[in-house]
Structure 1
Amino acid sequence: MEQIIEIAYANLLSPMILFFLLGIIAVLVNSDLKVPTALYTGYTMIILFTIGIKGGVELRNVSFGEMIPTIIAAVFLSIIMLFISLLILYKVFKYSFVDSIAIAAHYGSVSAVTFIAGLAFLDKFGVEYESYMSAVLVIMEGPAIILAIIIYKLHVSKQGEKNTNPDASIKHVIKEAFFGKSIFLLLGGIFIGLVAHKDGLVKIQPLFGDLFYGILCVFLLHMGMVATISMNKMKNIKLVSFLFAFILPLIGGGIGVLTGSIIGLSVGGSTILAVLTGSASYIAAPAAIEQAIPKANSGLSLGSALGLTLPFNLILGIPLYFWLATLLG
């Protein structure tokens, strides 16, 4: 127990977490601090490209056969978290089926920011991990979103309702889930890192390498502000109704660590798989779900994923998953 407290304390004092907490404080004290939209868009692109490029470079030395068990596990975890989330939300927390499936889609998908924070955490402690985990991030983004919308459409059909929104078609949803901006930038980065000449990659190293963590800190400052604003909008909703935002990441993290251990991942790899499984999407999922499931309360999904689960994972979840991975490792 002392070990996990020490790990959590060390994580809490990392610059990234401190920037995130500073963003929370900025909103709580009504500071006039604002991040320009153009700047936010710019550093989001840099962050996603950087993840992809680093993953692509590492993939040069990995055979596809080596990745197969992890790929299968990643898809399995994404789908199982969708159903676990749906069951808990619908049966235990008594949300409507529509809201339950919409929220479950977010928790079946993954968070790139939590993933980056997990990598930074391992780098800080000098823990190695499998080089292809960026590809796993991409793989886990879409399956739960697609499956959730298919389940919703079956539900609507059974109820005799019609969804006349042209953007709610399966074709459009697949496009959003697999080729939305976050996925496209990650895939683009992986492709560039995989095929670009090494001397060319050296030339872009200052922006996509040395400056990356500084940019990430500013991004997390903004995320702290956005997360707090999201929670402030739901003051009339009882906190007990949002306990799932802490329960689901613990379940996902536990399953992720166990699965990583079973398929033979390193301690670092199991930690990252747990981080992904225990995270919740607030970029890819909202873009697809808002169009396909218009009757769902988007505030519930975004508020829980961004306002509660993201801070929980950044501050407590990642150290906890690492501690569990070391026990099983």
Structure 2
Amino acid sequence: MEQILEIAYANLLSPMILFFLLGIIAVLVNSDLKVPTAFYNGYTMIILFTIGIKGGVELRNVSLVEMVPTIIAAIFLSLIMLFISHFILYKVFKYSFADAVAIAAHYGSVSAVTFIAGLAFLDKIGVTYESYMSAVLVIMEGPAIIVGIIMYKLHVQSKGEQITNPDAKLGHVIKEAFFGKSIFLLLGGIFIGLVAHTDGLTLIQPLFGDLFYGILCIFLLHMGMIATLSMVKMKNVKPVSFLFAIILPIIGGILGVVTGSIVGLSVGGTTILAVLSGSASYIAAPAAISQAIPKANSGLSLGSALGITLPFNLIVGIPFYYWLATLLG
């Protein structure tokens, strides 16, 4: 326990976490600090492209056969977290079916920001990880969203109801889940990193490399503000109703550590798989779920994923998953 407290304390003093906490404080003290929308869109693109490009470059030296066990494990974790989350939300917390499946889809999907924070944490303490984990991030984005929406459609049909919203059609949902902004930028970055000439990649290194962590800190400052605002808006909801936002990442992280150890990942790779499994989407999932499941309260999904699970993982979850991985490693 002493070891995990030391790791968590060191993580708490990292610039990324401090920027995130500064964003929280800015809202609590009612500061007039604002991040322009255009700037937010710009650095989001840079962050996602950078992750993809770095992953693409590293994939040049990895065989597909080497990745197969991890890919299977990633899809398994995405779907099992969907089903576990839905069961807990629907049976234990007594949310409506629509809200339960919508929130579960967010927790079956993954957070790119939590992924980056996990990589930064491992880099800081000098722990290596498998080079193809960026591809695993992309793979885990969509399956739970698609299956969650299918679950909702089957439930609606069993009740004799009809879905009339054209944006809720499965083809549109698949497009949003697999080719929405975040996934498209990640895939595009992976493609560029995989096929671009080394000289060309060197030319873009200053933007998509050297400035990455500075831009990420500003992004996390903004995320801290948004997370706090989302929770302020949910002030009429009982705190106990949001306990799942801490329970689910712990379950996901433990499953990720066990699964990573079974498929033979390194301690670093196992940690990142646990970070992904314990995270919740607040970019890809909301875009698809809000259209496909209009009866769901989007504030519950976004408030829990962004307002509770993200800060929990950044401050406590990541060092906890690493500690567990070292025990099994």
Shorter chain as normaliser: what TM range? Answer: over 0.9
Encode CA deviations 1:10-46: one digit per residue, 9 max, x unaligned. 0000000000000000000000000000000000000
CA distance in 2, matches of 1:141, 1:182: 9
CA distance in 1, matches of 2:202, 2:69: 32
Q: 1:218: which partner in 2?
A: 218
Residue type of the alignment partner of 2:270 = S
CA distance in 1, matches of 2:94, 2:69: 36
CA distance in 1, matches of 2:221, 2:256: 28
Q: 2:93: which partner in 1?
A: 93
Encode CA deviations 1:86-110: one digit per residue, 9 max, x unaligned. 0000011010111000000000000
Secondary structure at the counterpart of residue 72 of structure 2: helix
CA distance in 2, matches of 1:37, 1:310: 21
Q: 1:159: which partner in 2?
A: 159
CA distance in 2, matches of 1:268, 1:237: 38
> Displacement, 1:125?
0.3
CA distance in 1, matches of 2:158, 2:200: 55
CA distance in 1, matches of 2:210, 2:17: 19
RMSD between superposed Cα atoms in Å: 0.3
Secondary structure at the counterpart of residue 35 of structure 2: coil
Q: 1:313: which partner in 2?
A: 313
Residue correspondences, number? 329
Q: 2:79: which partner in 1?
A: 79
* Unpaired segments ≥5 residues, structure 1: none
Q: 1:301: which partner in 2?
A: 301
CA distance in 2, matches of 1:151, 1:236: 29
Alignment of 1:169 with 2:155, yes or no, is no
Encode CA deviations 1:33-78: one digit per residue, 9 max, x unaligned. 0000000000000000000000000000000000000000000000
Residue type of the alignment partner of 1:321 = Y
Q: 1:193: which partner in 2?
A: 193
Q: 1:271: which partner in 2?
A: 271
Q: 2:232: which partner in 1?
A: 232
> Displacement, 1:225?
0.0
Secondary structure at the counterpart of residue 295 of structure 1: coil
Q: 1:143: which partner in 2?
A: 143
CA distance in 2, matches of 1:148, 1:264: 29
Residue type of the alignment partner of 1:123 = D
> Displacement, 1:163?
1.2
Q: 1:247: which partner in 2?
A: 247
CA distance in 1, matches of 2:169, 2:74: 26
How does 1:253-292 map onto structure 2 within 5 Å? Answer: 253-292=253-292
Encode CA deviations 1:283-302: one digit per residue, 9 max, x unaligned. 00000000000000000000
CA distance in 2, matches of 1:96, 1:209: 44
Q: 1:66: which partner in 2?
A: 66
Deviation larger for 155-164 or 52-61 = 155-164
CA distance in 2, matches of 1:164, 1:68: 39
Encode CA deviations 1:219-262: one digit per residue, 9 max, x unaligned. 00000000000000010101100000000000000000000001
CA distance in 1, matches of 2:160, 2:91: 23
Deviation larger for 245-254 or 158-167 = 158-167
Residue type of the alignment partner of 1:40 = Y
How does 1:103-118 map onto structure 2 within 5 Å? Answer: 103-118=103-118
Give every structure 1 segment of 4 or more consecutive aligned residues whose post-TM-superposition deviation is greater than 3 Å: none
TM-score after normalising by structure 1: 1.00
CA distance in 2, matches of 1:232, 1:31: 15
CA distance in 2, matches of 1:160, 1:221: 46
CA distance in 2, matches of 1:51, 1:239: 35
Secondary structure at the counterpart of residue 163 of structure 2: coil
Q: 2:325: which partner in 1?
A: 325
Q: 1:31: which partner in 2?
A: 31
Secondary structure at the counterpart of residue 237 of structure 2: coil
CA distance in 2, matches of 1:300, 1:249: 16
Residue type of the alignment partner of 2:197 = H
Identical residues among aligned pairs (%): 85
Secondary structure at the counterpart of residue 33 of structure 2: coil
CA distance in 2, matches of 1:118, 1:176: 26
CA distance in 2, matches of 1:76, 1:254: 14
CA distance in 2, matches of 1:161, 1:44: 39
Encode CA deviations 1:100-143: one digit per residue, 9 max, x unaligned. 00000000000000000000000000000000000000000000
TM-score after normalising by structure 2: 1.00
* Unpaired segments ≥5 residues, structure 2: none
CA distance in 2, matches of 1:21, 1:80: 32
Secondary structure at the counterpart of residue 183 of structure 2: helix
